[in-house]
Amino acid sequence: MNPHLTKLFERRSELQACHEQIDEVFHAMCRSLRAGGKLLMCGNGGSAADAEHWTGELLKGFCSKRPLSAAEKEKLPADMRDKLQGGIPAIPLTGFTALTTAFNNDVDPQLTFAQLVWALGRPGDVLVGISTSGNAVNIGAAMQAAEARGLVRIGLTGQSGGKLLPLTDLCIRVPATETFRVQELHLPVYHCLSLMLEDEFFPAP
């Protein structure tokens, strides 16, 4: 078992029920990233904050400084070489204020994430939809656009998976139903996945 998973289950034993789901999501993300893909993330409310939080852990060093290679450093000015860090390409779809407000007003607010997936997604990319109930209509629409676009569809939900479950390829369903408890379990799950991805793509020398 991955050591980060072992530590996760020591801290939050109830997440042992998600062992297989977390492992499958990790490998799906690795396949996409190795092939040059990227991760797109979306959610509403607290889950929007989680989408922003998770991408922040991926785009820069999390628990590793992720130093650049000598070849990469040679391409940069001297004062940047030891400051820039390796990143995992991840985009929070929650951050496009101009597009979001325009599309909400002019077209359909339930389809804003779907529009972003359609515009930014490429075959082999990964869409992560975070929904505590699994019933967010706009996340479901984004999953439908992702399927049409050829993305891998991953859900992060509460226990039932809700309406999102059949729209995903993989779904991590944490063992809770109340919104705040689901959110409390989502954070250690995506922190664990961040650690696993960091070790995979930026191994310690």
**Residue 67 corresponds to which tokens in the numbers above?**
């130093």
pLDDT in tens, 118-172: 999 999 999 999 999 999 999 999 999 999 999 999 999 999 999 999 999 999 9
Would residue 102 count as lying in a domain?
yes
Question: Is 66 within a domain?
Answer: no
CA distance 151 to 113: 14
For residue 73, being part of any structural domain is answered with no
What pLDDT was estimated at residue 50? 98
pLDDT of residue 168: 98
pLDDT value for 127: 99
Q: What is the pLDDT of residues 66-116, one digit of tens each?
A: 999 999 999 999 999 999 999 999 999 999 999 999 999 999 999 999 999
Domain that holds residue 122: 3-60+89-201
In a domain, 79, yes or no: no
Q: What is the pLDDT of residue 102?
A: 98
Any idea what DSSP says for residue 202? S
Burial of 78 (0-12, 13-18, 19+ CB in 10 A): exposed
Reported confidence tier of residue 33, pLDDT bands at 50, 70, 90? very high
> What's residue 39's pLDDT?
98
The number of distinct structural domains making up the chain is: 1
Q: Residue 40 pLDDT > 80, yes or no?
A: yes
Considering the domain boundaries, does residue 125 fall inside one? yes
Q: What is the CATH number of the domain that holds 161?
A: 3.40.50.10490
163: helix, strand or coil: helix
pLDDT at 205 over 80: no
Residue 82: inside a domain: no
80 in any annotated domain: no
Is-above-0.75 flag for pTM? Answer: yes
Statement: residue 175 has pLDDT above 80: yes
Q: What is the CA 192 to chain-centroid distance, rounded? A: 12
Q: How far is CA 81 from CA 123, 136, 148, in A?
A: 33, 43, 41
**Per-residue model confidence (pLDDT) at position 41:** 98
**Is residue 76 included in any domain, yes or no?**
no
- Give pLDDT tens digits for 185-194: 999 999 999 9
Position 138 scores a pLDDT of: 98
3-state SS track over 30-91: HHHHHCCCCEEEEECCHHHHHHHHHHHHHHCCCCCCCCCCHHHHHCCCCCCCCCCCCCCCEE
In this predicted structure, what is the pLDDT of residue 204? 83
User: What is the model's pLDDT at position 111?
Assistant: 98
Angle between the N-to-C axes of helices 179-201 and 3-11, in degrees from 0 to 180, rounded to the nearest 10: 160
pLDDT at 180 over 90: yes
